[in-house]
Amino acid sequence: MAMRWMVMGLWTMLASGGEAPAITVAGPIERFAPEVVSTAFSEVRLTLSPDGGTAIWFSRDRPGGAGGYDLWISRRSEAGWSPPVPAPFNTPGRDFDPAFSADGHQLYFCSDRPGGLGGDDLYRVAIQGDGFGEVEWLGPAVNSAGNEFAPMLSPDGGRLLFSSDRAGGAGRQDLYVAARRDGGFAPAHALAGGVNTTADEFDATFLADGRTIVFTRAADLRRDRVDLFVTAAGPAGYGPGQRLAGDANHPRYDSYAPMLDWSQPDHLLFSGRRDEQGGVDVFRVAYSLRTPK
């Protein structure tokens, strides 16, 4: 039985230059697919296809993959979720942070495979039925000599959101966005406003409205606990955001890697721990957005 925690209260956010909508969590937080996805291993940043039939995530330590970081795939039928199998395009290196596009035609992810500009670069692969096309590097407009993490297209498909520790940012990891252009992307730029700070901002997802972002922040992700934050676009860009209230952020353990559930866009997925015995699991919760009048 899925472990549940009732989440009380209101998640609020600030946006530069204006009042932001509020995000309310409705119902329990549920561990996603126990014993299939959520196991004793570390399961991070799960993305669901728009039809709800395919789950893809990455694990740092699940055995049987091509490398230490691998993408894993499970498909849902009337019998439930299938045993996970490694993605056929994994490499012996790091393959992680998957994200379906809203139309389900592409999967974006990160990798340090040969051929990129830096340590971890952004890639995508076309979805072809139950298979995949050729892996495509996203090029120098979005990739840099630094590390790029957690790519995600906006619900309208027009913007690519990701994080990077490239030179010139406000801190180590900052949030960036690149507009779609001619099948590729225009040069990326840091999100406007006060969202990027001297802390680490990373692992961001758009919510269903396309202007609200849930992201992860830590004073220093190498040594400090990481928590989920939320902000929204205002006239002057994205505000600094507020830490999510309620039980999504645990008082002791990390909470990170949020991802919009494309199959039910009023639901949010994220990763974290809830006890000393368990590993990093995937959790799912319903939310609603309210825009003040």
* Mean pLDDT on 255-267: 97
The rounded distance, in Å, linking the Cα atoms of 255 and 217 is: 10
Residue at token pair 């949010």: 268
Residue 108 has pLDDT above 90, yes or no: yes
pLDDT grade, residue 244 (50/70/90)? Answer: confident
Q: For the residues 245-264, what does the mean pLDDT come to?
A: 90
pLDDT per residue over 175-229, tens digit each?
A: 999 999 988 999 999 999 999 999 999 999 999 999 999 999 999 988 899 999 9
Least confident window among 75-79, 81-85, 250-254, 282-286: 250-254
pLDDT of residue 16: 38
Give pLDDT tens digits for 2-50. 332 222 233 333 333 334 557 776 778 999 999 999 999 999 999 999 9
Where do the domains of the chain lie? 31-48+56-272
Fold that domain 31-48+56-272 belongs to in CATH: Neuraminidase (2.120.10)
Q: What is the pTM of this model?
A: 0.91
